[in-house]
Amino acid sequence: MAGPGSHWIGQDEVRELLEVMSSGYLFRYGGLDDPRFKHKVYSLEQEFASRCGVRYALATSSGSAALVCALKAIGIGDGDEVIVPAYTFIASYSSVIFAGGIPVLAEIDDSLSLDPADIERRVGPRTKAVMPVHMLGNPCDLDGIGSVAKKHGLRVIEDACQANGGSYKGRKLGGWGDMGTFSLNIFKTVTAGDGGVVVTDDEELYRTAFGFHDQGHSPLRAGVEVGGRSVLGMNFRMNELTGAVALAQLRKIDRLIAVLREKKKRFKEAISGLEGLKFRTLNDPEGECATICTVIFDGPERAALVSRRLGTTTVDRSGWHVYSNMEHFNRYLKERNLPHGKGAYPRTDSLLSRAINLSVGVVDAGLGAGFGINIDSSPREIELAAARFREACRGS
Ligand SMILES: *Cc1c(COP(=O)(O)O)cnc(C)c1O
């Protein structure tokens, strides 16, 4: 059990993958006149860019690699500060650190994503960029964040790793910021096991990101290489096997999200109207991926009791995405005398101690989403899960 795409791995993925395997050619670059070269990674990039409504997409080996390439492309280095939410996956922080920058944390709001007003409070002379993270498939307040960014001349990198397929006000996530990043890890909406993508509409940013992902080479290694390499890069390339699976998965994403939205609607309706709890704010209800249904209780004791009854946990106690639960990151912050540990971001702490993530498409105990439904749940199973939730809330 992981992300919804992993439930739908089937004949399409097998066919794409076999095409590559049978050809015997597994590297992402090749000659278009070579019949063995199936250019799956290239096709993935073309389809990804067009879906996001931007000109360029760059496939990478992971979402973390995509973030590092994007951060390097916008010029992060040497102590530049990037504002990130206090509720996110470790990669949002570690990518900034590996790019040479410093992550500056900001509070989240009832959408469980960056609060635009709090970003403004954290802006200082070294702030270069902000990284809105569309947590749990729910778009950030991109209008609010965009206007703060504009006012202070900050670059925007969308971390859309958990929100592939989502949109905000009709435009696909990832296409809003200067750059957007995606992950194809098993816990995301669609998956190739691992993998990532960077998107941008800016040619210069694309060229630089490309260089970082492939030892300084120009896009597709076209033209003269020796003497023309732009930056010192790394190898974050995707191979054709990953590209083949990712392509088949991407072509399912609209259907997948439509099914999740329909199942979430059914589930949500069946558990609404209970007293003392609400659903998290959706900045664009039409655009969310519907992978998770988060409920927020009035008080932490009740949230803890209900979660125990369901055999799950409140979000603050889930291991993976809460700043105060990341021992390695806390060590980094502590060594630099930066705010760290529980209590450093009280509004985030309070929200997460009152929240429970119910699974809809992403079933992941690490997210605190060990209870709920999945993409293949039948109407009957949805009704049963809803009844169990209502029962757990009763008399609590
Ligand atoms: C998954 C994820 C990433 C990147 O993850 P990879 O495992 O490297 O693909 C980055 N940010 C967030 C918010 C994520 O959930």
pLDDT in tens, 279-333: 999 999 999 999 999 999 999 999 999 999 999 999 999 877 999 999 999 999 9
Separation between Cα atoms, residue 247 and residue 263, nearest integer Å: 25
Task: Say whether both 8 and 137 belong to one domain.
Answer: yes
Contact 392, 310 (CB under 8 A): yes
Q: Are residues 262 and 216 in the same domain?
A: no
User: Which of 250, 282, 314 finishes a domain?
Assistant: 250
Examine the domain organization and report whether 48 and 189 are in the same domain.
Answer: yes
For the stretch 356-396, pLDDT in tens is 999 999 888 878 888 999 999 999 999 999 999 999 999 77
Q: Are 237 and 262 part of one and the same domain?
A: no
- In the three-class reduction of DSSP (H, G, I as helix; E, B as strand; rest coil), residue 163 is classed as coil
Please tell me whether residues 319 and 179 are part of one structural domain.
no
* CATH assignment of the domain containing 62: 3.40.640.10
Ligand 1, residue 91: give the atom nearest the CA. Answer: 10
For residue 187, give the ligand 1 atom closest to its CA.
Answer: 1
- Which distant-in-sequence residues (6+ apart) come within 8 Å of 309 by Cβ? 391, 392, 396
- Going by pLDDT thresholds of 50, 70 and 90, the confidence category of residue 223 is low
Predicted confidence (pLDDT) at residue 1 exceeds the cutoff of 70: no
Q: Is 116 close to ligand 1, i.e. is its CB under 6 Å away?
A: no
Banded model confidence at residue 129, pLDDT cuts 50, 70, 90: very high
* pLDDT at position 31 over 60: yes
Q: What is the pLDDT of residue 366?
A: 79
**Sign of the C-alpha dihedral computed for residues 31, 35, 36 and 40 taken in this order:** positive
Say yes or no: 245 and 274 in one domain.
Answer: no
Question: For residue 74, what are its two tokens?
Answer: 């916008």
Q: Does residue 95's CB lie within 6 angstroms of at least one atom of ligand 1?
A: no
Probe target for ligand 1 pocket from 98, 138, 182, 183, with the most ligand atoms within 8 Å of CB: 183
Distance from Cα 388 to the centre of ligand 1, integer Å: 31
Q: Which residue has the tokens 């997948």?
A: 256
**What's the rounded Cα separation, in Å, for the pair 61 and 198?**
11
Model-level pTM?
A: 0.97
CA 185 to ligand 1: nearest atom: 9
CB of 242 closer than 6 angstroms to any ligand 1 atom: no
Domain that holds residue 365: 255-393
Residues 124 and 265 placed together within one structural domain of the fold: no
Instruction: Give me the number of domains the chain comprises.
Output: 2
User: 236 and 323: one domain?
Assistant: no
Q: Measured from the CB, is residue 208 less than 6 Å from ligand 1? A: no
The Å distance, Cα 287 to ligand 1 centre, comes to 20
Same domain, yes or no: 204 and 89: yes
pLDDT at 32: 84
- 158 and 177 Cβ atoms separated by less than 8 Å: yes
Tokens of residue 130, six digits:
């902000």
Distance from C-alpha of 59 to C-alpha of 40, rounded to nearest angstrom: 10
CA 364/CA 40 separation, integer angstroms: 29
CA neighbours closer than 13 Å in the CB half-sphere of residue 28: 21
- Does the structure show a pLDDT above 60 at 224? no
Which of 199, 220, 250 is at the close of a domain? 250
pLDDT of 128 higher than 70? yes
CA angle, 173 as apex, 261 and 166 as ends, to 5°? 10
- Among 227, 250, 273, identify where a domain stops: 250
Pair 139, 272 in one domain: no
Mean pLDDT of 245-262: 98
Q: Does residue 310 sit in the same domain as residue 186?
A: no
Q: What is the mean pLDDT of the chain?
A: 95
